[in-house]
Amino acid sequence: MNRVHSWTIIASLILGIGAVNLFAAADEPSQPAEVAQPPASDGETAKQPAAEQTPVVSEEQLTQWQSGGWAMLQKFCLECHNADYQEAEIDLTPFADVAHAESDPEMWNRVLQMIRFGAMPPDDALLPTDAERSELSRSIDQAIYSMTCDLRPKSGRVTARRLNRVEYNHTIRDLFGVELDLTGDFPSDEVGGGFDNNADVLAMPPMLFEKYLDAAEMVASSVLLDPESLKKETIEMVGERLAIVGEGFTESFYGRIFPHESFAWVEFEIETPGVYRVRVNGSGATDKQQEQPIAVYDGSGKPLLAETFKFGDGGGNHSATVDHEFAAGTFRLLVATLPETPADLSELAAFDRIDRLDEEALAAGRDQFEKSLTIDREIPREELAFLLRKVIVEGPRDFPQEMLPPSQSVIVQRVATKRGNDYVEVERAAKLCLEPLIRRVFRGPVDEETLGRYVGLVKAATDRGASYHRGLQDAITGMLVSPRFLFRVELPAPGVEPDEGGEFRLTDHQLASRLSYFLWSSMPDEELLGLADEGKLFEPEVLANQVDRMLQDPKAASLGSQFAAQWLGLRNLDSMTRDESKFPEFSPELVASMTGETQRLFLDVLRNNHPAGELLNADYTYLDAALADFYGITLPSAADASDANVVDTDDNGFVRVSLEGSPRRGILTHASVLTLTSFPTRTSPVLRGKWILESILGTPAPEPPPNVPELEDAGEDTSSLPMRQQLVIHRENPSCSSCHRVMDELGFGFEDYDAIGRYRGDSDIDASGELPGGRAFTGGRELAEILRKTENARFATTVAEKLLAFGIGRELNPNDRCVIEQIIGLSESDDHRLADLVKQVVVSRPFQYFEAESGVYHESE
């Protein structure tokens, strides 16, 4: 498509939509889709949202805080964090009053993490016992969050969210049923809060819009083929190109005339496959035989056409046509007389004299093709039946059926009639094609004015001399670069006012999109859109049933490849290397198998609604042949499957197998995670412990203090010492000790696996340790079981936080803490089952509501 023409299309569509700033600066996040609200005028009081109101602190709450949490803060923390000596720029003295404690929830969240993590107080200070640490955490948590959770939590402001690369590809796939590599040369999507669907980092710089335009044009030309774009050819066969099997004569103007016993044949080459029009010109051979039925057969003898020709036909030659699909290659057509015209072509049998067209007859005919014919002067017309003037093959008029994409018949509901060089009733035909499509492209209802703009593109194309199908391609391109397609814009419906908290509930169609992009990373299907059309999607039973249905759909595999892969960091495996001399078996293929195992276990736990904690100690896994060999596990044969605990297989060769007798349990002993948390040449207890704290227990480790050397730069040669002794020396620095105290113990628990996750249960490997509270273990399997048993709630909390952030497309803030606590509280009695956590996210306020200024309306208005 001509680029100037493309931009003309885009400009005509974008003007008047205006819901999104398409060209946000490349180095700035996309801005919230909202209109600035002017300050309240004199005498007017702005409504204060409920969650921003200052909570009222009771005398009982104040007493509990001062005798509990505040007393322990004074004992263990105020020596460093006071007004005179503000270590890390934190002064805790103002928070003797619990009402002030609520004013900075982010700071307190960090304090909580440091205390729970064991990083504070440092080793050179007065240290609390495990029981005191737990009580201090509980007291701060209750004081800071219980008051705000008594109020309505805020859902958060809406940001116009661009489809990321995966969402774009999936949406095109589900719109048109085609798999296209559209975003391979797109810039990588930025990541915010661990996920690449974070609205605040999904900007739309002009360069990226150019790529979306290129992709839209590729999609339009792939899902809808234009017959007018086909290379046309006309093959006219006359005279010497008309061969006769049997007796035949050459008449004036080189017509070929033959009796009933003979037949004619032609041979020709087709370069471009497609539907061609075959035209036969001729007449009866004599005026005594006013009508002569004939048939046209293909090279195999199958009848294509039966027609009655008249002698002279009023002074001219009769013409009969049939459309037939040809592939590329060499083809023959046969013309023979019939005793009578059949009532229907289906009654006509295959040509019964095809055997006469043997190699000798073919050679004779082809020899004739190269010579000039001599007109016969004496022709016994009374004995002859048919005069064949010419056979013409024209086309292709359309693509062969097998070349048409499935979307062609879905999109093209009607073709505008062409009279001469002009199309008529274009708008009517185009509307029938585009109306059902645009509803799916824009993921909701579309008004007549908007639809009319795209119908107008089709009319504009035919007015300038382009084909009707080319006009439909222009309309599809326009839709695919519209802000309503490229962005998920959530604004209030026309006339809807915010609730008392200043928030709006999503419309049913907005909920359908949130749901589908959460669970499928793609657009809503017809069932979701239909329920949204009916206004039923918010009904609790309907919504729960839809979540169940969607999780069982194959498209929910994106929760493994998108959500789980990003949460656990599996995407980083693709860029990792290993020392070939130490790990020669490490390869991209093995990495793919590693990633596949973890994603499939996640999907199994999700789809079967097992407890989320099963991810930590599952006694089964999914292996393909390569990973099974790497683990030293024999995959069962098909004959042994029923006896080997095989529950499921997929088309990529993964089999669900039992881990009975294996040293592995859950994702912590997956090769993917163990490789991810190692260096190219060796394991790293620090990396592994840090990963567990952050990704499993939701407690990010603090940044190391300044001027603290790495192990390799510690000032003395410790490289020959075992890793455990190197870290003991490292922890002699009090600034390091507090963090490494827990982190290293977690990491050492998995030292019985090497840097690519291979089990190495050698006797000289010390994989023992002890977590706070006397939780001793030896090896990764025991540690996985301990974490499952003692950290189940913390792990479920981490999963819920990650699910909510991924589902709403933004980083969580302190206000969301109350929502997470509610989700965990509701799921606790049934062991925090994973699909139940997903359902709780879907019904949560941040998922179903958003903040926006009053008077800002949905883009369809």
User: Is there a contact between 685 and 748 (Cβ–Cβ < 8 Å)?
Assistant: yes
Three-state SS letters, 405-448? CHHHHHHCCCCCEEECCEEECHHHHHHHHHHHHHHHHCCCCCCH
Average pLDDT value for the chain: 85
The mean pLDDT of 715-721, rounded to a whole number, is: 51
Distance (Å) of CA 704 to CA 44, 237, 733, 734: 50, 86, 12, 12
Distance (Å) of CA 546 to CA 231, 443, 536, 800, 857: 48, 17, 11, 20, 28
3-state secondary structure of 290: coil
The mean pLDDT of 658-680, rounded to a whole number, is: 96
The DSSP code sequence of 638-670 is TTTGGGTT---B-TTS-EEEE-TT-S--SGGGS
Under the banding of pLDDT at 50, 70 and 90, the label for residue 794 is: very high
The mean pLDDT of 796-811, rounded to a whole number, is: 96
Closest CA to 287 of 384, 376, 390, 388: 384
Under the banding of pLDDT at 50, 70 and 90, the label for residue 139 is: confident
**How is the chain split into domains, by residue range?**
54-149, 233-402, 561-790
Token reading at 674: 């163990």
Q: If you search the block for the tokens 């998108």, which residue do you land on?
A: 562
Lowest average pLDDT, out of 90-94, 423-427, 762-766, goes to: 762-766
Under the banding of pLDDT at 50, 70 and 90, the label for residue 51 is: very low
The mean pLDDT of 758-786, rounded to a whole number, is: 87
Whole-angstrom Cα distance, residue 175 to residue 437? Answer: 8
Q: What is the pLDDT of residue 186?
A: 93
Q: What is the pLDDT of residue 24?
A: 36
- Does residue 370 have a pLDDT over 60? yes
The residues facing 390 across adjacent strands are 238, 281
CA dihedral over 503, 508, 509, 513, signed as positive or negative:
positive
Under the banding of pLDDT at 50, 70 and 90, the label for residue 10 is: low
- Does residue 159 have a pLDDT over 80? no
The mean pLDDT of 741-762, rounded to a whole number, is: 88
Q: What is the pLDDT of residue 371?
A: 81
Q: What is the pLDDT of residue 780?
A: 93
Q: What is the pLDDT of residue 129?
A: 86
For the chain, helix (H) and strand (E) counts, in that order, are: 31, 21
User: Is there a contact between 396 and 263 (Cβ–Cβ < 8 Å)?
Assistant: no
User: Is there a contact between 230 and 843 (Cβ–Cβ < 8 Å)?
Assistant: no
Token reading at 164: 């990321």
Q: If you search the block for the tokens 């913390």, which residue do you land on?
A: 794
Closest CA to 146 of 801, 818, 798: 818
The residues facing 161 across adjacent strands are 488
Under the banding of pLDDT at 50, 70 and 90, the label for residue 855 is: low
- Does residue 93 have a pLDDT over 70? yes
The mean pLDDT of 649-676, rounded to a whole number, is: 91
The mean pLDDT of 388-405, rounded to a whole number, is: 89
The mean pLDDT of 466-486, rounded to a whole number, is: 96
The answer for residues whose C-beta is within 8 angstroms of residue 746's C-beta and 6 or more apart is: 685, 688, 689, 692, 693, 769, 771, 783
Q: What is the pLDDT of residue 322?
A: 96
Question: Cis peptide before 814, with omega less than 30 degrees from 0?
Answer: no
Q: What is the pLDDT of residue 20?
A: 41
For 235-258, the pLDDT digits (tens) are 999 999 999 999 999 987 778 999
- Does residue 732 have a pLDDT over 80? no
Q: 736: burial class by Cβ within 10 Å (0-12, 13-18, 19+)?
A: buried
Q: What is the pLDDT of residue 471?
A: 97
Higher model confidence: residue 320 or residue 28?
A: 320
Lowest average pLDDT, out of 419-433, 586-600, 686-700, 768-782, goes to: 768-782
Q: Which helix (H) or strand (E) holds 392?
A: strand 386-398
Q: What is the pLDDT of residue 37?
A: 35
- Does residue 366 have a pLDDT over 60? yes
In the chain, % of residues over pLDDT 90? 57
Closest CA to 549 of 562, 530, 535: 530
- Does residue 404 have a pLDDT over 80? yes
In the chain, % of residues over pLDDT 70? 83
Please, how many CA atoms are within 13 Å of residue 54, restricted to the half-sphere of its CB?
8
Q: How far is CA 729 from the centre of its chain?
A: 48
Under the banding of pLDDT at 50, 70 and 90, the label for residue 853 is: low
Whole-angstrom Cα distance, residue 230 to residue 399? Answer: 8
∠ Cα 857 859 861 (to 5°): 70
Whole-angstrom Cα distance, residue 523 to residue 532? Answer: 13
The mean pLDDT of 167-178, rounded to a whole number, is: 96
Q: What is the pLDDT of residue 31?
A: 35
Whole-angstrom Cα distance, residue 256 to residue 824? Answer: 89
User: Is there a contact between 277 and 253 (Cβ–Cβ < 8 Å)?
Assistant: no
Q: What is the pLDDT of residue 50?
A: 40
For 553-598, the pLDDT digits (tens) are 999 999 999 999 999 999 999 999 999 999 999 999 999 999 999 9
Q: What is the pLDDT of residue 380?
A: 87
Token reading at 282: 């001729």
Count of positions (residues) in the chain: 861
Whole-angstrom Cα distance, residue 53 to residue 174? Answer: 45
Q: What is the pLDDT of residue 154?
A: 73
The residues facing 238 across adjacent strands are 390
C-alpha distance across the termini of the chain, in Å: 31
The mean pLDDT of 450-479, rounded to a whole number, is: 96
Token reading at 253: 């103007």
- Does residue 147 have a pLDDT over 70? no
Q: Which helix (H) or strand (E) holds 63?
A: helix 59-67
- Does residue 214 have a pLDDT over 60? yes
For 595-609, the pLDDT digits (tens) are 999 999 999 999 999
- Does residue 540 have a pLDDT over 80? yes
Q: What is the pLDDT of residue 32?
A: 33
Higher model confidence: residue 724 or residue 87?
A: 87
Whole-angstrom Cα distance, residue 668 to residue 613? Answer: 12
Whole-angstrom Cα distance, residue 668 to residue 655? Answer: 19
The answer for residues whose C-beta is within 8 angstroms of residue 416's C-beta and 6 or more apart is: 423, 424, 425, 426, 428, 429, 430, 462, 468
Question: Cis peptide before 121, with omega less than 30 degrees from 0?
Answer: yes
Under the banding of pLDDT at 50, 70 and 90, the label for residue 644 is: very low
The mean pLDDT of 167-176, rounded to a whole number, is: 97
Q: What is the pLDDT of residue 16?
A: 42
Q: What is the pLDDT of residue 418?
A: 87
Whole-angstrom Cα distance, residue 786 to residue 391? Answer: 84
Q: What is the pLDDT of residue 19?
A: 39
Under the banding of pLDDT at 50, 70 and 90, the label for residue 42 is: very low
Token reading at 687: 């990396």
Three-state SS letters, 622-637? EECHHHHHHHCCCCCC
User: Is there a contact between 194 and 563 (Cβ–Cβ < 8 Å)?
Assistant: no
Lowest average pLDDT, out of 305-314, 321-330, 393-402, goes to: 305-314
Higher model confidence: residue 23 or residue 272?
A: 272
For 498-510, the pLDDT digits (tens) are 888 888 999 999 9
Under the banding of pLDDT at 50, 70 and 90, the label for residue 650 is: low
Token reading at 7: 């931009």
The answer for residues whose C-beta is within 8 angstroms of residue 236's C-beta and 6 or more apart is: 390, 391, 392
DSSP state of 589: H
Whole-angstrom Cα distance, residue 455 to residue 123? Answer: 72
Under the banding of pLDDT at 50, 70 and 90, the label for residue 56 is: low
Token reading at 530: 């239909």
Token reading at 653: 């060769």
The mean pLDDT of 7-23, rounded to a whole number, is: 49
The mean pLDDT of 311-315, rounded to a whole number, is: 56
Q: What is the pLDDT of residue 213?
A: 95
The mean pLDDT of 840-844, rounded to a whole number, is: 97
- Does residue 142 have a pLDDT over 90? no
∠ Cα 671 672 674 (to 5°): 60
Under the banding of pLDDT at 50, 70 and 90, the label for residue 825 is: very high
Second-level CATH architecture of 233-402:
Sandwich (2.60)
The mean pLDDT of 688-694, rounded to a whole number, is: 94
The mean pLDDT of 181-199, rounded to a whole number, is: 92
